[in-house]
Amino acid sequence: MSYARTWWAVGLRGLLSIIFGALALVWPEIAVEALVLLFGVYVLVDGIFAIVSAIDGRGEYRQWWLVLLEGLLGVAFGVITVVWPRITAVVLLLLIAGWAIATGILQIVAAVLLRKELRGEWLLILSGILSLVLGVLLAIQPQAGAIALVWLIGAYAILFGVLLIALAFRLRGWSKQIQGMLRQA
């Protein structure tokens, strides 16, 4: 039920992801340092919202720690990125790849473990697969041009955001359904 109660946090994560992706697509020639800072802030905020969702649900489902771990990783990657904005493009690429792979794995594991508690878990699995694909592509193609990298990240962020918003609306509906059942009881 915790995920259902915090549907708004999932939706806000999706909205932030779409905004980040749109900015990356509109200004593909953005300097690497600006991309580093933008990515760092995005991952930091995304991590904070994941932590909020995890803490809120810690008493209601056993796998809350997976969402907490995802959030802590996001905050750690965000802080590292903001503190050292002059890192090279290759290091940035590997940082993003590592974050995407770790996030993807954690989302897939969380979806599998929560499949009995969460409807629409396939959206979380799909977003996890999307994260994994992005991470692997970035890791095996470090020589990709800056504009191609920005477009790839922007497209990923928009698609990821759309999936999170779709999941948020499903969770919102589930929350209303549960509240209605509780009122009748």
- Residue pLDDT tens, the chain, 185 long: 466 678 888 899 899 999 988 988 887 766 556 777 888 888 899 999 989 988 987 877 778 888 899 999 999 988 988 887 766 556 777 888 898 999 999 999 988 888 877 777 888 899 999 999 988 888 887 666 557 777 888 899 999 999 999 999 988 888 777 777 777 76
Helix (H, G, I), strand (E, B) or coil at 26: helix
The pair of structure tokens assigned to 123 is 């959206």
pLDDT for res 180: 72
Domain-wise residue ranges, the chain: 2-184
pLDDT for res 39: 80
pLDDT for res 19: 92
The stretches of 84-145 forming alpha helices (DSSP H) are 89-113, 121-140
pLDDT for res 93: 75
Distance CA 132, CA 139 (A): 10
CB 7 within 8 A of CB 175: yes
Supply the DSSP symbol for 13.
Answer: H
pLDDT for res 120: 76
pTM of the predicted model as reported, rounded to 2 decimal places: 0.52
Distance CA 18, CA 36 (A): 17
Distance from chain centroid for Cα 178 = 26
CATH class of domain segment(s) 2-184:
mainly alpha
